[in-house]
Structure 1
Amino acid sequence: MPDNPLAPAWLQLPVDANAFAPQVWPATLSRDADGVAVIGGVRVDKLVADYGTPLYVLDEEYVRSRAERVRRSFTEAFERVGTAAEVYYAGKAFLSTDIARWMTEAGLRIDVASGGELAVALAAGVDASRLGFHGNNKSDDELDRAVAAGVGTIVIDSEQEIARVASAASTHGRRQRVRLRVRTGVHAHTHDFLATAHEDQKFGVALGDAERLVADIRSHSSLEFVGLHCHIGSQIFGADGFAESAARLVAVHARLLAGGPVPELNLGGGFGIAYTDADRPDRIEDLAHRVAQVLAAECEAAQIPLPTVAFEPGRYIVGPAGITLYTVGTTKPVALDADGTAAQRLYVSVDGGMSDNARTALYGADYSTRVLGRTSGADPVLVRVAGKHCESGDIVVNDDYLPGDVAPGDLLGVAATGAYCWALSSNYNYLARPAVVAVRDGGSRMLVRGETVDDLLARDLGARHSAVAAGTAAHDGGAPGPLGRSRRKEAL
């Protein structure tokens, strides 16, 4: 059958709408003899029976293996040019106490960007000296807590923050290690909302101001300057942007050496992953090798020693290991005109939406989907997976092909949702945020409990007052007292 004229140019009509693109879906995902998808040795229908939908599912072994792979790739690449590399897991992608433990067990440090993320990492038992603390507007309380906890490195993001970090460190009698975040002017090929190296944006300081600000940092006895930091964007497929950014930083790094030691250089994160079959990110090994070679050449040309180099991947580690499970509620064929050609798109509505995956609405992000509860021989049709929110922009998957007999009650999976989905989730329309479950070796366990209706009402003080009043009325023969409970299961 011909491609649907409504389909974007990158989306190809699949030979088999039941198949999983290996670069998109988790490594352990397959189908059993019944056609039901199995992840981490667990059938998805069993997961739904135990935890309900929507449901975030993480392939634990895949998360761990990707963390180890990225650490090994950068370690080996920079050892070959004569220096060391450190890898920080960017907790903003998805952070829980279990994730923090997996990362430290894989040999990674952890980057946090708020007091809340700091609290999670510390609750997981992570050695505070292995934490980096980011943020363009850290509060005095957050800085105080970070210094008191012994956070390894604080990334200074503005001139005003220098004195504030110095004061917190002095109060606690510490010499706090700090980096200075700079804007290199290198613009990654990515969505504007994600590109964080533009001059007209909130992060960091101008590269031309670095020497003056580092001199200010060094004037404080409670601060120890360890190096520059930059971040050029997100969802970057190649090494060119990192290489160019490194080259620009080396020139400033070399001049800073005249005033004292500069042992480190942090090149940030932003390594891309495949959300669709059309995405072709560089292998992490190739990217690490290219950046190491460029940095080594630049340092040799500047006649300076290679610093220890740090990176901060998040999405690359956890994104591909996650899927979200949904139950189809309705399907709706919509007839459209595509430049004079009659065409049809099938809207497939599920029991979640922008509250559990905001990226499609925020960034126009593309995702891949499959029916996971069965296989089908029906011809593929172009679908748009929509959520249940009162927003026309509440779309989970803009464009993909599914078997034409997809129907209410089907179990749908969306790939590569391990990063920035739970982390950006909300209670819009008073939907409860889903649980996060890890699967491994045929078993499952809950990492983050799903919310219930009672959880949502517990924060509404008026509802609590009404519940007490209703309970009193019930004792008097009036209205029923207890609040109804969500059917979502509690932690098992």
Structure 2
Amino acid sequence: MSENPLAPPRLRFPTDASQLVDRIWPASATRTDDGDLAIGGVTATDLVAQYGTPLYVVDERDVQSRAVRVRNAFTEAFEGIGTRAHVYYAGKAFLTTQVVAWMAEAGLRVDVCTGGELAVALAAGIDPALLGFHGNDKSDAEIARAVEVGVGTIVLDSHEEVQRVARAATEAGVVQRVRIRINSGVHASTHEYLATAREDQKFGIPLTEAVTAAEAVRAESSLVFVGLHSHIGSQIFDESGFREAARRLMDVHATLVATGPVPELNLGGGWGIDYTEADSAFAPEDVADALAAIIAEACAERDIPVPEVAVEPGRYIVGPAGITLYRVGTIKPVALETGDGSDGSDADSCHATRTYVSVDGGMSDNARPALYGADYTARLARASGSPAVLTRVVGKHCESGDIVVNDEYLPGDVQRGDLLAVAATGAYCWALSSNYNHVGRPPVVAVADGAARILVRGESIDDLLARDTGVRPVPHAGTGR
């Protein structure tokens, strides 16, 4: 076997299609002596025997260690320039009560952006003062609830929210801390749907209107202006965007310092993780050191105090710690013609085969490939020495775009009934899951020290039917009712 001409340039032909690349898989991922994939000391075979497929699996220790690593990196970097750093876990990536507890234990705060996420965080028992509340369209009820429970900071996403949050705080008889989200205009190097600071989109207040917004906040006796907030996007590997956003924010920050206190600056998150071998993620220490250097230099140039700094990583903390397990179903080799000159080349046409490997999940448990062409890495749960073939892992849903892994080399002996693992699914998979085609959302289990436990129960057909008001109760035997 050799490299398939249908494969994208980024995809390396493997000498071992069962190899687990450390930086892509959870920290505890390994193969047993029998070649079975194991996470947290529990084999994929045993997990599936107990919980079925599809199944989200989270390496609990990996999540915790990543949270501590980020906290330590930013604490050390910003202590080095004479200030403090606060790390908020971005709950939108993956949020359960247990995840909130892990973050609190690791010394992190938590960022939420809806009433539902707020409810989960509160149910976990976290101190509300450690929460940040985001959102571009917060309802009056959500704002009132956040103020009522004592959320530490509310991020204002529009001019109208100044008055709305002030009114809620006044009615509650409290003074509410707020930040202002600024649309910096930085065009981050990422997919359009993941770029959140470009001028023509829904988030934030334009940079040119930041001073006006801050003045409006300062005019409200029920609000305290904490500082500015910026978030340029997600899954970013080019540090230039972060540098430029920080520089632009510091210009406005300095202007505001001249007229009143601005104790903090929130630089958001968004640095990427390794989904495939072609990716090259930042180390959190490098991100922290770079941002600290930028802030220190900017403050020295403007002769202003160094503010406390906040960041909001989510994907880095939880993404690589998760995998999804599927059961392989239909396998369909498709012969295709390539090199026919349609790409502008003079290459002679030839035939190549792409093998479609269907699994028992799909876009209902991982919407990212369909949303913005996200790439992933997959491996069979069993080891195989069979030569690799180019595959496309697809789901069971009624969409041609229902693709789980667009391009991957898997062992050529892949067969119906195999277990297949997809790496780095800890972030934005369960969070974006749906019931499309009336498929129940899978359970989430945490593994650690050779044991597994349920974080989120999976949905059954009965769960789906229970919400349909037209479903009639099934008569009990012998009752006629």
- Normalising by structure 2, we get a TM-score of 0.97
Map Cα deviations across residues 10-44 of structure 1 (whole Å, 9 max, x no partner). Answer: 00001100101111001111111111111100011
Question: Is 1:434 matched up with 2:438?
Answer: no
Deviations, residues 418-469 of structure 1 (Å, cap 9, x unaligned): 0000000000000000000000000000000001111000000001xx22xx
Matched, 1:359 2:368: yes
Structure 2 CA distance for aligned equivalents of residues 138 and 474 of structure 1: 52
Structure 1 CA distance for aligned equivalents of residues 257 and 31 of structure 2 = 57
The aligned counterpart of 1:485 is none
State the Cα deviation string for residues 304-342 of structure 1 (Å, max 9, x = none): 011000000000000000000000011100001112221
Give how far 1:473 is off.
8.4
Q: Distance in 1 between matches of 2:371 and 2:415?
A: 28
Residue in 2 aligned with 1:172? 172
| Matched residue, 1:310 | 310
Partner of 1:403: 411
Distance between the aligned counterparts of 1:310 and 1:430, measured in 2?
41
Deviation at 1:475, TM superposition (A): 2.6
Counterpart-to-counterpart distance in 2, 1:25 and 1:455: 32
Q: RMSD over aligned Cα, in angstroms?
A: 1.0
Match of 1:450 among 458, 463, 472: 458
Residues in 2 aligned to 1:300 and 1:320: alpha-carbon distance in whole angstroms: 37
**1:248 Cα deviation after fit:** 0.8
Specify the alignment match of 1:6 in structure 2: 6
1:370 counterpart = 2:379: yes
Shift of 1:474: 6.0
**Deviation (angstroms), 1:259:** 2.0
C-alpha contact (below 8 Å) 1:238/1:287 kept by paired residues = no
- Which residue in the other structure is 1:348 paired with? 357
| 8 Å contact kept, 2:109–2:131 | yes
CA distance in 2, matches of 1:350, 1:121: 33
Q: Equivalent residues in 2 for 1:193-342 (5 A)?
A: 193-339=193-339, 340-342=349-351
Corresponding residue for residue 486 of structure 1: none
Cα-to-partner distance string for 1:184-241 (whole Å, 9 max, x where unaligned)? 1111100000100101000001001011111111110000001000100100124221
Distance in 2 (CA, whole Å) between partners of 1:287 and 1:99 is 24
In structure 2, C-alpha distance between the alignment counterparts of 1:19 and 1:445, rounded to whole Å: 27
Q: Distance in 2 between matches of 1:33 and 1:70?
A: 33
User: Does the residue aligned with 2:470 lie in a helix, a strand or coil?
Assistant: helix
Secondary structure (helix, strand or coil) at the match of 1:141 reads: helix
* Residue 81 of structure 1, CA deviation: 1.3
Would you say 1:389 and 2:417 are equivalent positions?
no
User: Counterparts of 2:187 and 2:353 in 1: how far apart (Å)?
Assistant: 38
Structure 2 residue ranges without an equivalent (≥5):
340-348
Partners of 1:472 and 1:131 lie apart in 2 by 48
Q: Which runs of 4+ in 1 moved over 3 A?
A: none
- Per the alignment, residue 108 of structure 2 pairs with 108
Q: TM-score, normalised by structure 1?
A: 0.95
Query: What CA distance in whole angstroms lies between the structure 1 residues aligned with 2:414 and 2:2?
Result: 19
Pair 1:422-2:430 in alignment: yes
Deviations 1:140-160 (A, max 9, x none): 000000000000000000011
Aligned-pair CA distance for 1:472: 6.4
1:361-394 deviation per Cα after TM superposition (whole angstroms, max 9, x unaligned): 001000000001x211111000000000011110
1:243 and 1:295 in contact (8 A); partners too: no
- Aligned counterpart, 1:490: none
Cα distance in 2 for partners of 1:155, 1:338 equals: 52
Contact 2:189 2:238 in 1 (8 A): no
**2:192 partner SS:** coil
Is this contact kept in 2: 1:238–1:282, CA < 8 A? Answer: no
8 Å CA contact retained: 1:367, 1:397: yes
Counterpart of 1:412 in 2: which secondary structure?
A: strand
User: Given that residues 174 and 222 in structure 1 are in contact (C-alpha distance below 8 angstroms), is that contact kept between their aligned partners in structure 2?
Assistant: yes
Output one character per residue of 1:85-126: Cα deviation in whole Å (capped at 9) or x when no partner: 100000000000000000010000000000000000000000
Provide the secondary structure at the position in 1 that maps to 2:203: coil
- AA aligned to 2:139 is S
Unaligned runs of 5+ residues in structure 1 are 482-492
Could you tell me how far apart the structure 2 residues matched to 1:251 and 1:286 are? 23
Q: C-alpha distance in 1, partners of 2:371/2:243?
A: 29
Q: Could you report, residue by residue, the CA deviation over 1:250-283 in whole angstroms, capped at 9, with x for unpaired residues?
A: 1110110122100000010101000001111121
Structure 1: how far apart are the matches of 2:175 and 2:260? 16
The alpha-carbon deviation at position 294 of structure 1 amounts to 1.1
Counterpart Cα distance in 1 of 2:287 and 2:142: 34
2: CA distance, partners of 1:257 / 1:271: 28
Give me the whole-angstrom Cα distance separating, in 1, the residues matched to 2:367 and 2:469. Answer: 28
Q: Percent identity?
A: 64
Letter in 1 for 2:393: V
Report the Cα distance in structure 1 between the residues aligned to 2:224 and 2:478, rounded to whole angstroms: 64
Corresponding residue of 2:35: 35
Query: What is residue 462 of structure 1 aligned with on the other side?
Result: 470
- Paired AA for residue 471 in structure 1: P
* Inter-partner Cα distance in structure 2 for 1:430 and 1:224: 47
- Check the 8 A contact 1:239/1:291 in 2, yes or no: no
Q: Which amino acid aligns with 2:460?
A: T
Contact 2:97-2:124 at 8 Å conserved across structures: yes
Letter of the aligned partner of 2:97 in structure 1?
T
1:487 counterpart residue number: none
CA separation in 2, counterparts of 1:321 and 1:238?
A: 23
Asked if structure 2 preserves the Cα contact closer than 8 Å seen for 1:226 and 1:264, the reply is yes
> Which one-letter code corresponds to 1:417 in the other structure?
T
